Each structure stands twice: as structure tokens, then as C-alpha cells.
Structure 1
Amino acid sequence: MKKVLITGAAGFLGSHLCDRFIKEGYYVIAMDNLITGDLKNIEHLFPLEQFEFQHHDVSKFVHIPGKLDYILHFASPASPIDYLKIPIETLKVGSLGTLNLLGLAKEKNARILVASTSEVYGDPLVHPQSEEYYGNVSPIGPRGVYDEAKRFMESITMAYHRFHNVDTRIVRIFNTYGSRMRLNDGRVVPAFMGQALRGEDLTVFGDGSQTRSFCYIDDQVEGIYRLLKSDYTDPVNIGNPHETTIKEFAEEIIKLTGTDQKIIYKPLPKDDPLQRQPDISKAKEILGWQPQVSRAEGIKKVYEYFKSLSPEELQKKEHRDFSANK
């Protein structure tokens, strides 16, 4: 039985990856420090003999006894609310955490896939964004802690690949949505869903003309799995190229939920990207991958998931204690 270490395993995307690798017959070691992750996302796996959980911060030394075949590094705050509250931790997990896991991959002769994101492109001046585009990023802006953590992650991963011959893969993830997202983490889909289900007006930042491209979780996991199994070592965009404006998306949510909320507008945060659309030509050519789930179909599934939450969960606000994470 092949063994895979998945970091950030109790998070939205990490937990779905745990499910996929269990389904594929792997022994899964799930690692998370639970700063933004939640054990409820993986508690259904705890009874399985081929699953184990380690409560650990990958920014510290990582030790796994015995053989290890694959490492998937998905540990990182992923929402603006989180990484603006814990900027130092965000930088550390992208730098020290990646360094530690690359060292582990070297020691174990394991293949490692690191989770970069479309944030490496910043507020892009090229549209859509291909892997050859170097980005338009402010290293000193408020979002720089996340953007530059991901850019450093890519740089050190390629350095280990070239200098130490470590078997590496880099995925650039574009906006992804699905079950297990936190309602109040600041990302577009759960934010709109939560407001609609609570009967609140939907908040759009800026004039709503900025664009996003939303990829359903099942499609994202499939793309990541194919990239891990491929022989391609340069970064690959995995996302849905079907672009929509934030205003149009808010209107879709209001129509879907059958509510009569208004859209209210607030100032656009500093360095918030105005366009986001992946060029997935490489994923199509190299991985034979492209999204299968339409936004209408995916959003309906996510709506049913959020609608199934208890009234207490719908009303719950984020009260995470970040005081120790300086």
C-alpha cells in the first residue's frame, strides 16, 4: 500500500484530497495544526486502518517514520480574512513549511506536489493568465504575505528539483468551491451563500465588475491527482476558465436561493485582483483534464450543502484564537 502525506488535511481542499487518496487505496497520513482547519472535515476517516491524523505545524521539523511515496503540501491559510489575521504564520508555512517538506521528500525519495495558487499572478495585466505570465504582485501590500509565500514556494520547489533532483510538481489553483468551506472565511462562494441563507443583503466589494472563475471541488481534485501522477514538473493551472463578474454571480445566488435580498456595495480592498481567469491549455494537453461540472450544477450542490447546516452553524461567526500565532 503506497503512503501519502497530506498537509492542511483538515481544511476544505485537503480533506477532499484525503477522501480521494483513501478511495484510490493509499495509506493517508493527514497533518494539520488546526489553525484554520477543522477535524469535522475528516472525522469520518478516523475509523479507517489506512488513515492516521497528526496534529502538527509543518513550519517546524517534520518527521515521518518509514517509507513515504508522496507528499501533498496544502497547509496554508487560504482566505483573506485568515491570512490578514495571521500574516506571519502565512509566510512561515509557505517558506519554512515548504522547506521542511522538500527536505522530507529528499530524505524519503518521495514525489512532492505543492499547492500554489492564482495569487502568484497578483492583479494581472494579462488575461487570461497562462503559466508563462510572471504576474503583477505588490510584495509590501496587505495581500503580499499570501502572494509572496506562494511565489517563494514555487521558487524553492524548483531549486530543490534542479539542485537536489527532488521529484516535484506545482499546481496553481484557481478559485475552487464545494462542501466543507467555512461560511464566514471571506471567500466569495461561502460568503454569498451564508448571507443569502441568513436573509442578509449580499456584500459586493467594488462595483462588482471584477471577475472570477469558479472551479467545483471534484474537478479540482481530479486535476491535482492527474498532475501528481504525470511526468510534468513545471507549474500547471487547474481551474475553470468560465469567467463571471462578481455582480453577476451575486445575482445568480439570489436567483438560486429564491430570496429578495439586495446587493450592497463596499470599497474594494487594496490589491484585490480585478480579473481572474485561467488559461488551462497545458492541463488539457498534458493531463487530458478540463472541468466537467458547470457552475450552475456545482453551485446547486453547494447550496444544498449549506442549506443542510443547522441554524446555529449558519449564524455562527468566526471566533478563532490567533493570539498565539505571532
Structure 2
Amino acid sequence: MGSSELIFRGHGTQQESDSYTPKPPKPWESLTRLVRYLVREQRLMFLLIGIALPTIIFTMLYSSNPLSSPEDPPEPYHKIVYQGSGGKIPLGLKSRGSRIVVTGGAGFVGSHLVDRLIKRGDSVIVVDNFFTGNKENVMHHFGNPNFELIRHDVVEPLLLEVDQIYHLACPASPVHYKYNPTNVVGTLNMLGLAKRVGARFLLTSTSEVYGDPLQHPQKETYWGNVNPIGVRSCYDEGKRTAETLTMDYHRGAGVEVRIARIFNTYGPRMCIDDGRVVSNLVAQALRKEPMTVYGDGKQTRSFQFVSDLVEGLMRLMEGEHVGPFNLGNPGEFTMLELAEVVQQTIDPNAKIEFRPNTEDDPHKRKPDISRAKELLGWEPKVPLRKGLPMMVKDFRQRIFGDHNKDASSSTL
């Protein structure tokens, strides 16, 4: 039989079967089958138990977590609240877990601020070019998953995803800012970052914006008396311009900003030879050198301990007010009185040597902090005679090579 004569049984009706269309299932039949499946062998009961059991376990774990307990008092400022878009939120709850960048965070003030933020539970990114900062100031945080360190100069743009920006990066002593004046460009870059990512921005300005003041003590409403072409103008006018840029970004671009005007600050981790009066006198007395007092020694300054300043900066950042705010200790000392306090603290036999005064040196400097008291609930707590010995201890260890780890990593 040829291949053309092969017949496959049952294929003769193929055309008819292709045209067959079954009846569509009725909509309730699927539901009926599902119900029968769940009822059979008590499957429904096991399903409900499977849902209820994880829910109960999760609820018990959540309620026992001390970090999630509503009775857990926020720290460190449980009496302060942050005014958010949804109403007032306890400060400790708001700030816990914030992602914060601190420019100049390896410096004197910046490193103490970083200590407090890390202790509070925030994630902190330190940005520093180490021009005046020191890696040893933050080394005790290495290995902490909440800490990051970036070597970067803020005069170059930087993009980070953060909630808050503490902008401290700027040489603050005459020795350094005359060599590398970087106020304006760095501030502009950090304001640009705050605008792009919606971060709150805090500018650390200075009492130098008042210049050689004609008002005493100085209030935030005083516009200052500054020489725009003097040897100190790169710092004085630079900070004044930084304040202008900060307010322009606030008014024009809606950036949340805060402005602090910092008065003379001292404490551990200061640069030893930075030309500032407290560090100069302490280092000279420890080295058995004559303590230099410029002019007649009657010019006055006020000195706040670094822990007081850090407290003020954090209250300002978390508060509701833009500023500017004076942050300083209103206790007023002449330069000669300061030298005598250093003498009494370190070496009663230390000699005091007078030298010609420097150009544009302010004659008087004392903050009026009534605004900070009223709106921030802040005022300094550490008097000069209590804070100075802590600074002396740190300087003695660094000058004479006693690298005590506890001293370098202590949090004030």
C-alpha cells in the first residue's frame, strides 16, 4: 500500500472538533470550588491561624523595643520640639536617625559637634580637606557604621543625600584665613547642596562681622564696623557675604537656614599654634616662653567653652528660628586678665611680654545673648576658670608627646 493510501483512524472528523466551543463557566462555580476547598479538612482554620500568629508575635516584639516605646524620653533635648510640616514633633524622635553632613568636621569645633551627633544616634558624614582639621580628632569613630569621612575641599561642589548641613568649613584663625580665604565659595556650594536635596542648612558665622564695634555689648541687630580692605577683611567680609548668601537662598529659593554668630571659643583639640589668643598663651606658658600680650592688654574678649557652643549649635539647628543668634559667653576679660588666668592655671612664674598691637584688632567684644536665651533656651554653663584646665591638660599631652587615647577621644 502506498503512502498516499495510509489512513489514520479517527482523524476524519478533525475539522468538526476544531469548531467545537465549550460553554463558558458560570461565575459562581469558581467561588463554590474555593469555598469547598477551604472547608474541606479545616483548611480555613489553618489559614486564619497562619495570619494571626505572625501578627501577635510582631506586635509583642514592637512593644518591647525600647527605641520604639512612646514612653522613651527623647535625647538630648526632650524639652525642645521641632516644628515640622505636620505639627510639633519631640526633638529626640525627629533627630534620631537623621543623616547629617558636617563640613570641617575634623576640626576643633566640628569634631566635638560630631561626637554629640553620633552619641545622639545620627548618621554623620564629615567633609574636611584637613587644612586646619586633624584626622586624629575623629579617629575614635572609625569603624562606627554611623560615621563616614570624606577628604574634600568645599570650594569644589559635592552631592550627598542628607537631612541637615552644619557648615563649619572655614579657617578661623588669622594665621590660616589670611593664607587661604575660602568663606564665600564653600558656602555657596553647600547652599546649592541644601537646595538640591532639601536639607536644612546651618551657617557658622562669627562675631567678626561686627568688626571693631561701636556698640557694646553687641546685639544681632547691630550692622558692624568693618574695614572692607583691611588685613582681616577676607574673614570679616567673607562671613558677612556668607550670611548674605544664606539669607538670599532662604528668601529666594526657600532653603531652610540657620545662622550662628560665634564668639571666641576655646577647649581641647584647638590648633596649638594657630595664632588665637587662648591657644597662644597656653602653649607659651607650657613651653616656658614669655606670654605675649598685644597693645596695652586692655582690649576685651569673651570666651566660651566648646561644649557650650556645640549645645547652642544643636539647639539652633533643631529650633524654629532662622537667626542670626549670638553664641558666646558674656563674661568679659581684658587680654591682660586672660594672661593672668593662664598664668595662675599653668605657672605662677610665667612672664608676660607686651608687643605692638596688630592691625584692625577690635578693642571690645562681648555678646548680648538675650535672644538666644529667650528663643533657644540656651546660655553657656562653663566659666573660664573651669574650662581652661581641661584645655591645658589636652595641650600638655600633645605638646610633650603623651598620647593618651582617652584624652584625644573624650567627648565633652
TM range (shorter): over 0.9
Tell me the distance in 1 between the aligned counterparts of 2:116 and 2:361: 32
CA distance in 2, matches of 1:300, 1:57: 34
Partner of 1:318: none
Q: Which residue of 1 aligns with 2:125?
A: 29
Instruction: Tell me which of 119, 122, 136 is aligned to 1:40.
Output: 136
TM-score by length of 1: 0.92
Aligned to 1:231: 320
Secondary structure class of the residue paired with 2:298: coil
Structure 1 CA distance for aligned equivalents of residues 347 and 293 of structure 2: 19
Q: Which one-letter code corresponds to 1:85 in the other structure? A: Y
Identity, in percent, stands at 49
Q: How does 1:54-93 map to 2 (within 5 A)?
A: 54-64=150-160, 67-86=161-180, 90=181, 93=182
Distance of 1:247 and 1:74 partners within structure 2:
30
Aligned residues between the structures: 307
Residues 246-325 of structure 1 mapped to structure 2, 5 A cutoff: 246-311=335-400
What do residues 295-326 of structure 1 show as CA deviations (whole Å, max 9, x unaligned)? 11011211222222252589xxxxxxxxxxxx
Contact 1:220 1:239 in 2 (8 A): yes
Instruction: Describe the superposition over 1:187-221 as per-residue Cα deviations: whole angstroms up to 9, x where unpaired.
Output: 11111110000101100111100001000011000
1:257-276 CA-to-partner distances (Å, cap 9, x unmatched) read 13412211111111011111
Normalization by structure 2: what TM-score? 0.73
Distance (Å, rounded) in 2 between the aligned partners of 1:5 and 1:311:
34
Name the aligned partner's letter for residue 74 of structure 1. L
1:32-84 deviations in Å (ceiling 9; x for gaps):
011111111111111211000000011111111xx311000000001011112
The amino acid of 2:245's aligned partner reads: I
Residue of structure 1 equivalent to 2:298: 209
Q: Letter of the aligned partner of 1:54 in structure 2?
A: I
Runs (4 or more) in structure 1 with deviation over 4 Å come to none
The one-letter amino acid of 1:11's match is: G
SS at match of 1:61: coil
Q: Which amino acid aligns with 2:395?
A: F
Partners of 2:206 and 2:239 within 8 A in 1: yes
| 2:132–2:271 CA contact under 8 A, matched in 1 | no
The DSSP-based 3-state class of the residue aligned with 2:398 is coil
1:152 pairs, out of 213, 222, 241, with: 241
The 3-state SS of whatever aligns with 1:309 is helix
Question: Cα RMSD over matched residues?
Answer: 1.2
After TM superposition, give the deviation of residue 234 of structure 1 in Å.
2.3
1:196–1:259 CA contact under 8 A, matched in 2: no
1:108-257 pair list within 5 angstroms: 108-257=197-346
Match in the other structure for 2:108: 12
Secondary structure at the counterpart of residue 265 of structure 1 = strand
Quick check: 1:118–1:173 contact (8 Å CA) kept in 2? Answer: yes
Q: Please say if residues 31 and 54 of structure 1, whose CA atoms lie closer than 8 Å, have aligned partners that are also in contact.
A: yes
Query: Distance in 2 between the 1:196 and 1:22 partners?
Result: 34
Q: Which amino acid is the alignment partner of residue 34 of structure 1?
A: F
Asked whether the 8 Å contact 1:113–1:228 carries over to 2, the reply is yes
Instruction: Tell me the equivalent position of 1:106.
Output: 195
Q: Distance in 2 between the 1:241 and 1:227 partners?
A: 18
Higher relative contact order (CA 8 A, sep 6+): 1
Matched residue type, 2:129: N
CA distance in 2, matches of 1:174, 1:206: 21
Equivalent residue of 1:241, what SS? coil
Q: Which runs of 5+ in 1 are unaligned?
A: 315-326
1:255 and 1:96 map into 2 onto residues whose CA distance is 43
Q: Distance in 1 between matches of 2:255 and 2:148?
A: 25
Give the Å deviation of 1:6.
0.3
Between 1:205-214 and 1:261-270, the stretch displaced more is 261-270
Task: Give yes or no for contact 2:250–2:256 (8 Å, CA) kept in 1.
Answer: yes
